[in-house]
Structure 1
Amino acid sequence: MPALTFDLLATDPASHARRGRLTLNHGVVQTPIFMPVGTYGTVKGVMPRSLHDMGAQIILGNTFHLWMRPGLDVMQSFGGLHGFEQWDKPILTDSGGFQVWSLGAMRKITEEGVHFQSPVNGDKLFMSPEVSMQIQTILNSDIVMQLDECTPYETNGHNTTEAEARQSMEMSRRWALRSQAEFERLGNPNALFGIVQGGMFKHLRQESLEALVEMDFPGYAVGGVSVGEPKDEMLDIMAHTPHRLPAHKPRYLMGVGTPEDLVQGVAEGVDMFDCVMPTRNARNGTIFTRYGDLKIRNARHKTDHQPIDTTCSCYACAGSPGADGAGLSWDQGGRAGFSRAYLHHLDRCGEMLGPMLTTIHNLHYYLNLMQEIRDALDAGTFAQFRLRFQQDRARGV
């Protein structure tokens, strides 16, 4: 059996949106899908059981951070990341390139790879396409990402020029070839994705795309967005690139974004998304709801008996089913969720339960949003869904 199969199940005639099914070594993923980010082998503040319950189908791991800690010897002893973190569904790992790039003065990028100092203990280390493939093979992730150079929006205090973006894109293209060759040499049984780069220049994006398609990767990602560029420029690249990738292969938009970004990304032909926004924002008191964003730290929530969102079925909003599955676990048959007042109190007191509950809600909201998108695509009502989504989000909490 191939490491990846992608079945296109439905398309939207009014946009580039599509409904698919992605089959990987550790299970099936229904697309479009949002992938929660588990940097250190855990989605912050969320039990694996909660991820299952909220419908997470695939999660991310971070190659760079897992290489730093706990290290490859530990990972190898568990047979990879699945056994280490006790997750039996698919995992995607990034290449480590973004994290190495973000080290700034602590790293030096050359054609061979990146020399850098470990942010953990100061050791001198080297990351190359070959090293990234070796690490990800030990992690045994279902989807492996090529090592690329993340093209910044700004370089040395000025907007990245076309020449600088081209130089970066062409090196990423050469690194894609090296990643592919090492992946095959290692006999990795999983799937390797290529990453389209080119900064904010559409013709460079097109060159990168065409070169990667020639390499015939099982799937493709659009990288180098959400790196400091204005929102309109990010949306411009999102409108240009995804639908030009092969229709019979999955398309992944890296590091994006808000609920509005996800719906727009689906309309542009994206199948897979990831972003730290739902978890990071939850820890900082921002909660996503059907009717807009809620700032739980605002004083107006101090005495508010409402749950976060009366339409939400997550544990934070509605409680959990009883042991027999017939009712709620506590109260007399009504809603058993937590009030905004309680969440406000937890946040003010710095209690860890607060961000745990808001993270559960935010991830549930994102995953449920994707389920609603899939349902609309199945029913042929995606255009109506988009309009209703926009109206609801604009209404306000």
Structure 2
Amino acid sequence: MDLFAAPHPIDAYEETALSRWLPVVALSAITLLIQGTTLMSLGVFLPSMAGDFGGQAGSAATAFLLAMSVVSLPAGWTLDRAGARPVLLTGIILSAAGFALASLAQNRLWLAAAMAVAGAGVGASTIVPGIAIITRLHLMRRGLALALFLGAAVAAGAVIPPFVGAAIRHQDWRVAMVSSALVIALACPLLVWLVPGGRIRAEPDHARSTWAALCSMDFCRFVLAMTLLQLAINGVLFAAVDALMAQGMTQPGAVAAYSAANLLGLPALLMGGVAADRLGARPSLIAAALLLAIGTVALTGVRAMGVPGVAAFILFWGIASALPGQSGSMLLADMVPPGAFSRTLGLNTAIISLIGALAPVWTDLMRQAGGGFRLPVLVYAALALLSAPLIALLRPSNAKTG
């Protein structure tokens, strides 16, 4: 089997249970390992990295997120032209190389450049190709398939960061980064063999259908709503450990709470997948936005409420932060023609991730202006709340989306 085989359409492969579910397992494992050691562990890396770079490392996180978002657009295009395996393999190589280079960084510019390489790799090897491939392979049980795939990203945030935190405590952040790069480089290329190597689309009117989708007002509303949600999620995702520590929690305790919140996304995705398949993606996305606002506000009450405050953050934010990627993707698939999905997904992901990448820097600025985490947390809660009416205005073509 050739990793760079001729890019026949994915939906030309034989339709068997194994051919449809084995790629989901492989893509989930790749995402768990890559996002777990990179994206989902950034909040653990940043406090330790900051000590070596003048007290702030937010620019490195922003470089990572910017590169990850920008790559989403060409990744969607390349999936259509070259096939899945070349895109995945390139992303894996960049992810490992970027973290290896970051571990050697001696100044902020070097660190930011290396983190940008890693971010580009993560963008090309995880969410966009995974969702595009799974959406093409699964029609009837799309919610469940996406729940399993996105559940891997959630599990990555629950399982991997404690190991990264332990490596940092016993060695340092540089050793932890090298170890992460080795895990990616040794394990992930083998999993690419289990993914079909074909193109994501086969429709001849692909360009016209994509342009029509991009020009629709519903797509613009969808992108705006998803951008607000992405900012709200990123604002807490990369500051939660620091915010909890600022309210008196120890580093292991803060990491444990952060991991528990991410772990709670696993049952949330499974329940959300069933709900979205039965009730529609739009109601699920609205509910996620409202819960995200509540869970974000709960982060401000940890010092005053103690354990109940931590539990509220874990429960509400943990459930809500996992759902937009699932129900949002399903809603987009029902809003655009099948031939336009890969590119509209890539464009949407690029836009929301590009703007969402600014969250760590904005958090630093709001912390300085407000003297703590209260101001940024309340702002991110308000953004999540504002997304709900925008989602309610969407009118997908498929009635089952709600």
Fold in common (TM above 0.5): no
Which structure has greater strand proportion? 1
Bin of the TM-score, shorter chain as denominator length: under 0.3
Which structure has greater helix proportion? 2
More RCO (CA 8 Å, sep 6+):
2
